[in-house]
Amino acid sequence: MGVAVVGPSAARVRFTPAVLRAGSTATLTCEAVNANPPAHVTWWSTTHDGRLESRMVAVAVNESRLAAEHGGVDVVSRVQVVLDSDDDGKTVACFANGTRTVTSQLQLRVRCKLLLIHLPAF
């Protein structure tokens, strides 16, 4: 009996660190679950009014493949982006294309840079 051609069954996107700040680097991770053949993951972002922009510009992309249930493959795609205050409110999405397409998205909440001010001691 051969391996079934399926999926992916789901996509999940998350980011680190938990608090996003302008000027820092965030790692976005997309998991495309249980696809055969392995899913092809692409990253997109939207403008503030919800229009889909072209693919995100990435500092680095890392992709790994892990064995999944029922002979499928989980694809984990990581993208690192340098955040800007203009990214606040934008939505990022990963599209996992296989025998069908699944999408996962989340909205970014980017805080201003943390400024440290040294006050003179009295």
* Tens digits of residue pLDDT in 51-72: 767 666 565 678 889 888 777 8
CATH label, 10-111, candidates 2.60.40.10, 2.40.50.320, 3.90.76.10, 3.30.460.20: 2.60.40.10
Q: How far is CA 60 from the centre of its chain?
A: 12
Distance CA 44, CA 8 (A): 18
Q: What is the pLDDT of residues 13-27, one digit of tens each?
A: 999 999 999 999 999
Question: What are the structural domain ranges in the chain?
Answer: 10-111
DSSP annotation of 71 reads: G
